[in-house]
Amino acid sequence: MPTGHFLCHGVSWTREGPSLALASPQGERTSLDLPASNQASSEQVCGGGFNLGFRLDDGPGSRYCLGYSKALNGGERRSFPCPTRTTAERGYQCGPCFARDDFRYMHDVHRSGVAPGGLAQYLAQEHWLYIATFADGSTKVGTASQRSKWTRLAEQGAVVARYVAQADNGRVVRVLEDTVTRSAGLPQAIRSAAKTAALARPLPQQRLKEANDDAAAAASRLLKREIDIDGYRTSYQVWDPPPGWQQVLAAHAPVYPLSLGAGEHGGAVRAVLGQVALLVLPEGEFLLDLAQLRGRRLELGEWRSPAIAVQQELF
């Protein structure tokens, strides 16, 4: 495990598994691989499994700029650190980095038509419209590029999802997304805290599938009958979640009760679902929302969480 001081960029996923994306104080990017799953018992994991320990370097509520991205010729995306390493003003960026970021045009380009050349090439690739359902049955509509078709849903923490349309480009898919939100009432975002809380008491898999089926059917009806644009085809592809996610769902673990605003935290990670780690401590298993670390400065090392007073109602 890398040790030292880092700026956390959140959890990223590939087909090989999840990792905690980090940047050194000099802006060099690195990552810490996390286990997608671990079939060992809680006792075995505590004894010799994957350990994650960190101490928050900054004050409570401090969140730092994660820099900006440029869309290069050919549609490639390149990230740059914040030149001044200052605090974030909006979301995860300072004002100057937001102004430099090509991807700030992304969500309005289908209305404004404004996009830098590299972003226009990025948007020219095929995009997918998906319907994602989370552990409590809440459901959203979203988009993913061809390159991020699978990883987008893995990073979102969907439990059940399907792709309902394949669009020729990013402009068309955002028209579809806005139409589904407006006409079918599906939101385009769900808070990370709500996703984490839902994992403590997940609905049965069949109910989640039914919720996703119903929302996907409503979206499909709109796509087939009520959207008068060209450049897309309806789809009905089921998304395959990463192996091991059932460990997090089956744990019915409570949300990690200690504040991540400051202090030392750590334990053994048994599995990861989306941005949430199943953390094993002497008191039991807890759901640790790693999304809360995004934009935070932390020191990785052999840190451990302080003792937790376990209450029966948590379980």
Run means of pLDDT, 10 residues per run, the chain, 315 residues: 87 95 91 78 50 85 90 80 93 94 76 68 88 98 94 97 96 93 94 96 97 96 85 94 92 95 93 96 96 95 89 49
Running DSSP on this structure, what letter comes out for residue 34? -
Running DSSP on this structure, what letter comes out for residue 310? -
Running DSSP on this structure, what letter comes out for residue 190? -
Please count the helices (runs of H) and the strands (runs of E) in the chain: 9, 14
Whether 64 contacts 86, CB under 8 Å? yes
> According to the model, what pLDDT value does residue 43 have?
46
- CB under 8 Å to 138, separation ≥6 — which residues? 190, 194, 198
> According to the model, what pLDDT value does residue 313 have?
45
> According to the model, what pLDDT value does residue 3 have?
76
- CB under 8 Å to 35, separation ≥6 — which residues? 17, 49, 50, 244, 269, 270, 271, 272
| Token pair listed for 297 | 């400065």
CA distances from 273 to 23, 123, 136, 158, 288 (A): 22, 28, 14, 9, 10
> According to the model, what pLDDT value does residue 57 have?
77
pTM of the model: 0.90
> According to the model, what pLDDT value does residue 174 have?
92
Task: Output phi, psi for 140, to 5 deg.
Answer: -135, 165
CA dist 164 and 124 (Å) reads: 19
CA dist 53 and 3 (Å) reads: 9
Quickly tell me which residue has 């079918």 as its tokens. Answer: 184
Whether 91 contacts 59, CB under 8 Å? no
- Strand, coil or helix: 75: coil
Q: Which amino acid is at 64?
A: Y
Q: b/e map of 261-298 (b: 16 or more CB within 10 Å)?
A: ebebbbbbbbbbbbbbbbbbbeeebbbbbbbbbbbbbb
C-alpha of 274 from chain center: 6
C-alpha of 218 from chain center: 25
> According to the model, what pLDDT value does residue 315 have?
44
Whether 142 contacts 163, CB under 8 Å? no
